[in-house]
Amino acid sequence: MSNIVESVDIKNYILDKLLEMGCVTWDTEFAKKHDKLISNVLTNEINYDNISNNNKWAYQFHIKSALNKIDVDFNDIDSVKNMIIMDYFVIKLDSNKNKKYVTLNPTSVYEIFYYYTNKFKKSIDIWYDKEMSNLKNIHEMLKSKNSQYSFFGIDENKLYYFVNCIMHLQKVSQF
């Protein structure tokens, strides 16, 4: 595949195809910032000539593994958004080609927030900060529609509530 990936059109075709196939588990804007890394992965780590339903998850695995090695920059919205997507979501396209972020496993908004409070050694009491109100509203809305722990999907605007809350979480003091 090394000759093929030298073409930007082919790399973009592969990334677009993965998005259409519903198996992108990273932020697409973050990936654009790491264009050379993805080209390197497609050139050196993928042994397929064409992307298909049979090998789409192999492409996804190698790209996600490479992007996962990049440290999170908590001053960069795309970097934080990428971390959250990689930890919890897969991107699907709706009938209008809008992105929807669907959880990989049954979970709740609160459980995701709780995970990050533990990961960053912060107090769970931050959940009650006024900066968390939009995220809490999403949690309550999804909880009323489904069981609290279920698969759920959110749009880009709601994902930004997560991003902003995690960025706030990083800024608050330790326990």
Pick the residue with more confidence: 80 or 45? 80
Q: How do residues 33-79 score in pLDDT, each as one tens digit?
A: 999 999 999 888 887 778 999 999 999 999 999 999 999 999 999 99
Q: Could you state, in order of their start, the residue ranges of all structural domains in the chain?
A: 1-70, 74-175
Question: Rounded to whole angstroms, how far apart are CA atoms 120 and 134?
Answer: 21
Q: Is the pLDDT of residue 3 over 60?
A: no
pLDDT, residue 49, reads 73
Beta partners for residue 100, in sequence order: 92
Q: How do residues 121-167 score in pLDDT, each as one tens digit?
A: 888 898 988 988 888 888 888 878 776 667 888 889 999 999 999 99
pLDDT band at 84 (very low <50, low <70, confident <90, very high): very high
Beta partners for residue 171, in sequence order: none
* DSSP string across 95-140: TTS-EEEEESSSB-HHHHHHHHHHHTT--GGGGGSGGGHHHHHHHH
User: Widest CA span of the chain, in angstroms?
Assistant: 54
pLDDT, residue 173, reads 59
